[in-house]
Structure 1
């Protein structure tokens, strides 16, 4: 999911360079939403692992 956020961020930067404001704004919004979803899932995963008492496998 972080990969999708990065992809939309790159699309937003390229669209902004070429002057496509609407597309750049939409891609930025999608990237920001996906980033925060990724962070929320990360925090939930860390809390769940802490409650279970298991360390993450590396």
Structure 2
């Protein structure tokens, strides 16, 4: 009974952690999309040569 309670608590913590991680990944992917868009704009205007 006690073991089961500990296990369920552990699962709750793990699921919370996974939720946080998935949220973080969503934010990261959004950031990468923005960055890639920015790079496309930069390469279009040929300013990338000056930056690098």
List structure 1 runs of 4+ shifted beyond 3 angstroms: none
Instruction: Give the total of aligned pairs.
Output: 40
Higher relative contact order (CA 8 A, sep 6+): 1
- Structure 2 unaligned blocks of 5 or more: 1-9
RMSD of aligned residue pairs (Cα, Å): 1.7
- Structure 1 unaligned blocks of 5 or more: 1-18
TM-score (norm 1): 0.57
Between structures 1 and 2, the one with greater helix share = 2
